[in-house]
Structure 1
Amino acid sequence: MNLPNILTLSRITMIPVFVIIFYLPLQWSYFVSAAIFALAAGTDWLDGYLARRLDQTTPFGAFLDPVADKLMVAVALTVLIEAHSSFVLTIPATVIIGREIVISALREWMAEIGSRASVAVSYIGKIKTTAQMASITLLLAFPVGETWTWLGLALLYIAAGLTLWSMILYLKAAWPDLFPRC
């Protein structure tokens, strides 16, 4: 167990904490749950940086890091869908969650056939993740209808658009393996 793996595990343990705090009937609960989510999102960057910088990459970390990210985002988006109770938020959230499932399955299958590198994380994926984390943080921090909520929704739609774009790029890269010429 090394520091990057501990940070990844801490991200997973923060999930129920931000959910519980979000639902507390206290005035500060939205802001604090958003702060916890933002902290968890920051550990996503930090654990990867430290693993590379300190040469502490491990198979466990390579497995757990994307799982932690997907869990954190899926749970946060699910909480927000319930809190906002609006198709305006549900549509991009569904696109994001659906894409994560498709790409996870694609990466697993590509790894099985020895072509994992063709579906490696792209630069667009990093931009998408940044927009996604910022949007979720804003949407958790502010109750429905506040001005900042609209910025959060705009960023969520940008993230959903980048999500679809990156999914197309991944599928395009995997296309020859998905449909080999007979």
Structure 2
Amino acid sequence: MTFNIPNILTLVRLVLIPVFLVLYYLPWQYAYITAAVVFVLAAMTDALDGYLARKLNQSTPFGAFLDPVVDKLMVASALVVLVQSYEGSIWMTIAAIIMIGREIVISALREWMAELGKRGSVAVSWIGKVKTAAQMAAITGLITHYNEWVIDLSMVMLYVATVLTLWSMMVYIKAAWSDLIGNH
């Protein structure tokens, strides 16, 4: 493994997941806000590590593998605690299942397309980046439990992110469709 700046940032993000979880559940007045700050820091390292890997030409196989895994763990962890915290919200649960399910589907699709030598046809698109931004904003707001206005706005953003999640999944599946149905 190469210890370069992007890989170190990815590892920091991995370590921040349990820190986020512990902070979220601490019986402390500022637990939610502090957990939200840690989540935002983790999200910022995600954007920064990819940028630096490209800018400094420091992409590595380890980073290419670990970065998306850590991203998915971070988001799934946050969604799971939010579903538990907002236990009366069926819409939160549905959104979380769609988002986590999409990540499983797209990961499997990318792996399968890579086996066919066509990984580039399911590379990250602009819609995936917009989805991620909406998702991170929504999750951050929901983590804070700040006030009803922030929670309501964050729920709207969560629904926007859910629609973008489904849309981006369809874009990726459409790109791979001929290979999926066997029409090469």
Tell me which amino acid in the other structure corresponds to 1:133: M
2:54 alignment partner AA: R
Partner of 1:140: 143
How does 1:57-136 map onto structure 2 within 5 Å? 57-85=59-87, 86-136=89-139
Alignment RMSD: 1.1
The percentage of aligned residue pairs carrying the same residue is 61
Structure 1 portions without partners, runs of 5+? none
* Alignment match, 1:32: 34
Deviation at 1:181, TM superposition (A): 3.2
Q: Offset at 1:29?
A: 0.1
Amino acid at match of 2:9: L
Encode CA deviations 1:93-125: one digit per residue, 9 max, x unaligned. Answer: 111000000000000010011110110000000
Structure 2 CA distance for aligned equivalents of residues 68 and 108 of structure 1: 16
**Equivalent residue, structure 2, for 1:14:** 16
Ranges in structure 2 where 5+ consecutive residues have no aligned partner: none
SS in 1 for 2:117: coil
| Structure 2 counterpart of 1:160, from 146, 159, 162 | 162
Q: What is aligned with 2:56?
A: 54
Secondary structure, aligned partner of 1:105 = helix
TM-score by length of 1: 0.97
Deviations 1:21-62 (A, max 9, x none): 101111100000000000000000000011111110111111
Aligned to 1:4: 6
The size of the alignment, in residue pairs, is 181
Q: Which runs of 4+ in 1 moved over 2 A?
A: none
Which residue is 2:46 aligned to?
44
